[in-house]
Chains A and B, each alone.
Chain A
Amino acid sequence: MSMFTKNEQGTDRSRNVPEGQPAPPSSAQQPAPAPSGGSQIVSVISKGLTVTGNLESEGAIQVDGQIEGDVRGQTVTIGEGAVIKGAVYGDNVKVAGSVEGKVEAQTVSVTRAGHLEGDIIHERLEIESGAHIDGHCQPTYNKTSSKVTPIKAAATETAKASSAPASKAATAET
């Protein structure tokens, strides 16, 4: 299960949760993987959700809401009605909503409801008739450049910074 094998998750639980804490309750309470066979749950930013900041996932992201910031994922689907003011990075990006910013992915697909104002850096590109594109389409997608994950580093550092002093205190007490 990805949620229990993450390094930061392991460190945090050992710090905050007292010794002898029973393992999290029965697996029935944990979400089962999606029936499609994927081992990850699709993250969904629904219509009513507005995010002011950056998102990053190693899995699939479905955006139907509003994002002011960058989106980075493996498979990013921007639904109709979604509004993104920022860049979108991924392996596979499908744009059916509005993006004000560049899209950088291996496979980019813009549907006829898509509205894209920004460059499209791709390896494979598909644009349906009726899509609104205003930007430079460049087939210069380089896979290695998308592996840089500054957002994850920032979030992990926040976690580590807050856990480091506390873990010292915990070991001093015990």
Chain B
Amino acid sequence: MRLGRVRHNPASAAGDMGPDGDISVLGPDLMIDGQLESTGEVRVFGCLAGDIHAPKVTVCPGGKIEGNLVAREASIGGRLNGRIIAPVVVVEETGAVVGRIFHNEVTVAKGAFVDGRMPWRPINHFDKSATLVEELTSEHVHKK
């Protein structure tokens, strides 16, 4: 039974129950061409060409997303080309983000690469799905 085991390896947590459901792991040699929607955490070590909607997304070193990321919590340690829409965003030292980061709380580690605007949004903004759709498609600056 995996739940009782001590884990040092984030990848081996795959299939375990997180607070929102099972954890999915996209291994380093996995390539996905399409959209992902999850009720549980997703850890990306591979390549995703498409959007991802999940409560928590971790792009691990070596991982890459070409698309938008919508989550409650985003941690970027790999590459992401697209928009991030999450109340809590962390860009790790190994992270490289090209695109806007819509956030309520953002952390960018020293050495991280970020190329894009980082528009702040109030926390309730992330709860409305209508505004999320607008963020994903809007090109203009959101007026206050």
Q: B-facing mask of A1-41, CB < 8 A → 1, else 0?
A: 01110101100110011100110110001111011000011
B21 lies within 8 A of chain A by Cβ? yes
A57 lies within 8 A of chain B by Cβ? yes
Q: 8 Å CB contacts to B: which residues of A131-174? A: 151-152, 154-155, 158-159, 162
Residues of A within 8 A of B30 (CB): 43, 55-57, 59, 61
A92 to B49 Cα, complex, angstroms:
26
A42 lies within 8 A of chain B by Cβ? yes
**Count: A-B pairs, CB below 8 Å:** 169
Q: B-facing mask of A60-90, CB < 8 A → 1, else 0?
A: 1110110011000000000000000000000
Q: How far is the CB of A104 from chain B (nearest CB, A)?
A: 19
How many chain B residues touch A (CB < 8 A): the figure is 51
B45 lies within 8 A of chain A by Cβ? yes
A112 lies within 8 A of chain B by Cβ? no
Residues of B within 8 A of A35 (CB): 12
Q: A-facing mask of B30-42, CB < 8 A → 1, else 0?
A: 1111111111101
B103 lies within 8 A of chain A by Cβ? no
Q: 8 Å CB contacts to A: which residues of B18-35? A: 20-35
User: Interface majority SS on A: helix, strand, loop or mixed?
Assistant: mixed
How many chain A residues touch B (CB < 8 A): the figure is 55
Given contacts A17-B113, A31-B60, A59-B27, A43 and B38 within 8 Å (CB-CB): no
Residues of A within 8 A of B118 (CB): none
Given contacts A46-B24, A49-B38, A55-B30, A159 and B14 within 8 Å (CB-CB): no
Binding site for B on A (CB under 8 A): 2-4, 6, 8-9, 12-13, 16-18, 21-22, 24-25, 29-32, 34-35, 40-62, 64-65, 68-69, 151-152, 154-155, 158-159, 162
- 28 A–B contact pairs at CB < 8 A? A16-B96, A16-B98, A24-B93, A25-B94, A30-B62, A41-B28, A43-B14, A43-B27, A43-B46, A46-B22, A47-B22, A47-B40, A49-B37, A49-B38, A51-B36, A52-B36, A53-B32, A53-B34, A54-B34, A55-B34, A56-B33, A57-B30, A57-B31, A64-B15, A65-B38, A151-B33, A154-B33, A158-B33
Given A12-B79, A32-B11, A57-B27, list of 7 further CB < 8 A pairs?
A8-B47, A30-B60, A43-B30, A45-B24, A51-B36, A56-B30, A65-B24
